[in-house]
Amino acid sequence: MKADKKAELDRVWQRLVGLVMDSRGDWKRNVAEATGLPFSRVRALRRLGDGPLTLVALAQSMGSDAPAATVAVNDLERRGLVERRPHPEDRRAKLVSLTAAGKRTLQAARRVRDDAPVALTALSSSDVEALARMLEKLA
CATH for 108: 1.10.10.10
Count, residues in the chain? 139
Residue 9 forms part of a structural domain: yes
**Spatial separation of the C-alpha atoms in residues 81 and 100, rounded to whole Å:** 7
Range(s) of the domain holding residue 106: 3-114
Residue 132 forms part of a structural domain: no
Confidence of residue 73 (pLDDT cuts 50, 70, 90): very high
* 105-to-47, 53, 78, 114, 115 alpha-carbon distances in Å: 13, 18, 14, 17, 20
84: β partners? 96
| Positive or negative: CA dihedral 15, 16, 18, 22 | positive
Per-residue pLDDT at 65:
92
Domains in the chain: how many in total? 1
Per-residue pLDDT at 124:
94
Task: Provide CB contacts within 8 A for 104, sequence distance 6+.
Answer: none
pTM of the entire predicted model: 0.80
User: What value does the mean pLDDT of the chain take?
Assistant: 93
Residue 129 forms part of a structural domain: no
Residues 79-132 have pLDDT tens digits of 999 999 999 988 888 999 999 999 999 999 999 999 888 888 899 999 999 999
64: β partners? none
